[in-house]
Amino acid sequence: MNGTKNASWKKIAASTMALTLSAAALLSACSGNNTANNTGNNSSSSAPASNAATSSASSSAAAPAREVTVMRSDTVIQPWLADSPALQEIMKNTNTKITTQAVPESDYDAKKNTLIATNNLPDVLFVKKADIITYANTGVFLNLTPYLDEYAPNLKKRMESDPEVNKLKVDGDLYGFPIMANKENAANVGNFPMIRTDVLEELNLAAPTTFDELYEVLKAFKQAYPDSYPWSFRNGSEYNLKFLAYAFGGGFPIYYEPKEDKFVYGVSSDGFKEAVTFLNKLYKEKLLDPNFAALTVQQWQQNLSSGKSLFFYDNYTFATNFNAALQETDPDAKFDMLPVLADANGNKRNYMDNPSSFNSYVISSKVQNPEEIIKMFDWMYSDEGLKSTNFGVSGEHYTEDNGTITIAQSLLDQFKDKQDPYRAMQSFLGTGLLSFAVMTDDTPMFASSPEQLKVWSDAVKSQKEAGIVVEKPLDPPFTEEERDQLKQLNSKVGTLVTQNVDKFIMGNRPLSELDQFAQELASSGAADIEKIYNDAWARMK
């Protein structure tokens, strides 16, 4: 390391030894008072919840702040910082001091699983939907149900407004504080048809309103630009069929069919067959990127940013990146959203993501006086808490006039030169979904993002109000046994699906065998999957 050439090895060795010896001395000093050192994880575990008498102290004004350690996954784009304005607001309003433990998102699961397995949970832990079901029965998470009536009136109110939350319950009990969206001001995201409107105009074409018209338009694109592959995919055909089959009036793979009020394994549906037939037609005429099965996200982005592809049916927020890249060389180039396309019967429907993430914060079952933490979370569900955890400090970071929130211009200016102004601002404030909020509101995003996003989000919203766009429903809660069965069945059926779907699209297997394919799947487990879903769904209803 310290590679001065003329120093003899002896010297280096000697200094190394000296360094190490002093290090060893330090080490022993450290392990000597390890109890003092060991603050974060063990403070709560050492003492049982017996001395609940002290909890009454929280009512007096001079009570010392309750310290709560919160661990959550941390993104590069919006780092979760300690002592942010939002956390100070929580301190001010609930007398709770949050200690942040931000664990990189890339490896969050590894850390979370280790902590759960060794029973070394922090006081509060961020978990995904599936984690609650997996671990609820082990007793590491606190069951919140007994506390809800007394300590969480705001949460109860919010839950009533979004019944999907009930699917997070395990055997009727709630184990985590679900992260929900304030849907009046939520960004409405989903996979929608996006087309290069400048090319439409250039070729004097009307915007397509049905999938058949889309086919004609793509064909015209190909004629005008023979080198292009008008439609580009990412993540392979199975990912795309999940929403395309639904838009064609069917679904894929297992999905909730609102017309029949039950779950259906969609491969037998007409919509799925039409979607595959449609893609097969595009593939044959080279309207779909022939490499569609293997395109990486990066290649897909390159295709769309370079004009090699002119249409995509995916998360529309990508389009702002594509437009920015395209407009550097061609100022008129622009992707814009098409209204949802009609299937062969003239029906329109499309999924959107539920703005509520439904991930949760759980409390460790070893925590003392959990009602203090529950009260803090409940405050975060209140209107006041929502504002503090999404907008920052009133008067300083935002103003409110007749219910309309305005983000302070000075705040927006402070971050406008950043690479991602919105997330830089949120990181500074400690607000929003990627920081610490259980009730999210996307007002700040619209204030600091390209205006186009708001336009598209509103377009989705109005189609949602018209009943065309629906929020993708969550799976019903399964029992442990059902989950094990599903895992096996899904891998068995999934393998068959993966082996065959691309064959159909590429024409290696004749489309006339689609019905036979559906039968194959049903007999190899798709029918069982359907049954498990519907049984679980029936229990919920």
Partner 1 sequence: MKLGKRKYSAFDLVNALIMLVLIFIMLYPIYYMAIVSISNGSSVARGEIHFYPVRITWKAYEVIFSDAPIVSAYRNTLIYTSLGVAINLFMTSLCAYPLSRREFYGRNLFSLFIVFTMFFDGGIIPRYLVVNGLGMLDTIWAIVVPTAINVFYMVMMRTFFQALPEALHESAHMDGANDLTVFWRVVLPLSAPVMATMTLFYAVSHWNSYFPALIYLNDSHLYPIQIILRNIVIQGDVASQSTEASGVMGTLVVDQNIKYAVVLIAILPILLLYPFLQKYFVKGSMVGSLKG
Q: Binding to partner 1 (CB under 8 A): which residues in 277-336?
A: 297-299, 301-303, 305-306, 314-315, 317-318, 320-322, 324-325, 328
* Least distance between partner 1 and beta carbon 147 (Å): 27
DSSP 3-state of 451: helix
Residue window 395-434: x/- pattern of binding to partner 1, with contact defined by CB under 8 A: ------------------------xx-xx---------xx
Furthest CA-CA distance within the chain: 86
d(C-alpha 62, C-alpha 54), whole Å: 14
C-beta closer to partner 1: residue 217 or 469: 469
Interior CA angle at 466 toward 464 and 471, to 5°? 25
d(C-alpha 419, C-alpha 436), whole Å: 22
Q: Quick one: which of 212, 214, 244, 300 has its CA closest to 501? A: 244
Strands 66-74 and 96-104: parallel
Candidate ranges 38-46, 133-141, 247-255, 510-518; the one touching partner 1 (CB under 8 A): 38-46
- When binding is defined by CB under 8 A, the residue of 55, 63, 77, 475 that contacts partner 1 is 77
* Least distance between partner 1 and beta carbon 212 (Å): 26
* Least distance between partner 1 and beta carbon 289 (Å): 13
C-beta closer to partner 1: residue 154 or 443: 443
* Least distance between partner 1 and beta carbon 375 (Å): 25
DSSP 3-state of 208: coil
d(C-alpha 266, C-alpha 252), whole Å: 5
- When binding is defined by CB under 8 A, the residue of 7, 17, 49, 57 that contacts partner 1 is 17
C-beta closer to partner 1: residue 71 or 469: 71
C-beta closer to partner 1: residue 15 or 145: 15
* Least distance between partner 1 and beta carbon 81 (Å): 9
C-beta closer to partner 1: residue 97 or 281: 97
127's CB contacts (< 8 A; 6+ apart) are: 112, 135, 141, 176, 359, 360, 361, 362
Strands 180-181 and 439-440: parallel
d(C-alpha 386, C-alpha 41), whole Å: 28
C-beta closer to partner 1: residue 274 or 442: 442
Residue 241 found at the interface with partner 1 (CB under 8 A) = no
Residue 114 found at the interface with partner 1 (CB under 8 A) = yes
- When binding is defined by CB under 8 A, the residue of 63, 91, 102, 412 that contacts partner 1 is 102
* Least distance between partner 1 and beta carbon 225 (Å): 16
Q: Are 309 and 234 in contact (CB under 8 A)?
A: no
407's CB contacts (< 8 A; 6+ apart) are: 391, 397, 398, 443, 444, 447, 448
C-beta closer to partner 1: residue 243 or 265: 243
390's CB contacts (< 8 A; 6+ apart) are: 431, 432, 437, 439, 440, 441, 443, 444
Residue 445 found at the interface with partner 1 (CB under 8 A) = yes
Residue 189 found at the interface with partner 1 (CB under 8 A) = yes
C-beta closer to partner 1: residue 388 or 457: 457
Residue 110 found at the interface with partner 1 (CB under 8 A) = yes
- When binding is defined by CB under 8 A, the residue of 187, 195, 438, 536 that contacts partner 1 is 187
> Which residues between 344 and 373 bind partner 1 (CB under 8 A)?
353-359
Count residues near partner 1 (CB under 8 A): 86
Residue 462 found at the interface with partner 1 (CB under 8 A) = no
- When binding is defined by CB under 8 A, the residue of 7, 20, 137, 498 that contacts partner 1 is 20
- Please, what sign has the CA dihedral across residues 313, 316, 318, 324? positive
Residue 75 found at the interface with partner 1 (CB under 8 A) = yes
> Which residues between 467 and 496 bind partner 1 (CB under 8 A)?
472
C-beta closer to partner 1: residue 61 or 76: 76
- When binding is defined by CB under 8 A, the residue of 94, 449, 463, 500 that contacts partner 1 is 449
Residue 38 found at the interface with partner 1 (CB under 8 A) = yes
Q: Quick one: which of 299, 339, 306 has its CA closest to 323? A: 306
* Least distance between partner 1 and beta carbon 541 (Å): 23
How far are the Cα atoms of 284, 363, 366 from residue 98, in angstroms, in the given order?
58, 13, 17
Strands 262-265 and 254-257: antiparallel
Residue 117 found at the interface with partner 1 (CB under 8 A) = yes
Residue 34 found at the interface with partner 1 (CB under 8 A) = yes
* Least distance between partner 1 and beta carbon 77 (Å): 5
Residue 16 found at the interface with partner 1 (CB under 8 A) = yes
Tally the C-alpha atoms within 13 A of residue 541's C-alpha that lie toward its C-beta.
8
How far are the Cα atoms of 105, 203, 327, 422 from residue 416, in angstroms, in the given order?
25, 37, 20, 8
d(C-alpha 381, C-alpha 440), whole Å: 9
- When binding is defined by CB under 8 A, the residue of 41, 84, 269, 463 that contacts partner 1 is 41
DSSP 3-state of 29: helix
C-beta closer to partner 1: residue 79 or 476: 79
DSSP symbols for 43-102? HHHHS-TT-GGGGGGGGSTTPPPEEEEEEEEE-SSS---TT-HHHHHHHHHH-EEEEEEE
> Which residues between 211 and 240 bind partner 1 (CB under 8 A)?
235, 239
Match 């049905």 to its residue by tokens.
210
* Least distance between partner 1 and beta carbon 134 (Å): 16
> Which residues between 499 and 538 bind partner 1 (CB under 8 A)?
none
Q: Quick one: which of 143, 144, 138, 142 has its CA closest to 117? A: 138
